[in-house]
Amino acid sequence: MTRPLVPALAADSRLVLDEDELRQWGIRFGQAAVAPLVVTLSGDLGAGKTTLAQAICAGYGVSDAVTSPTYALVQEYLSPRSVVYHIDLYRLESEKQLTNIGWDEIVSGNGLVIIEWPERAGERLPPHVPIALEYEPGDPTRRILLAG
């Protein structure tokens, strides 16, 4: 069975994935991604945002280990295709702090930008591909992925 790269937007449109399937989906997404592109990852703590970011980076050609940028806020990786920025805004207290991390230059550049906790960017969030991860009720090993 071939799964769509990005599910259609509809009330019942969703993918329910275990961790391995989530990684495979992310790899395919990364392979299909064309920079410049901003991708946002939303979901509760532990929903799989960093796991998905790692898979997208792998598919995009990043060979370095991709780690959570929670404390650094921004991690930069090189790929044969372009630079990749992995941004985690969880610890951001205000939109005004975006300037301190080089936000405008990053999101207006020619790279792939993956943003966790995008709601913290407020009005400064540029056009993007939104991806949301939710817990599957009754099954802690599976996630619901909504994209597009």
Rounded distance, CA 61 to CA 16, Å?
A: 25
pTM of the predicted protein model: 0.90
Enumerate residues 6+ apart whose C-beta is below 8 A from 2.
none
pLDDT of residue 6: 52
Rounded distance, CA 43 to CA 144, Å?
A: 10
**32-122, what's its fold?**
Rossmann fold (3.40.50)
Q: pLDDT class for 13, splitting at 50, 70, 90?
A: low
pLDDT of residue 72: 84
Mean pLDDT of all residues in 96-115 = 96
Mean pLDDT of all residues in 125-139 = 94
Summarize the chain as % helix, strand, coil (round to 5). 30, 30, 40
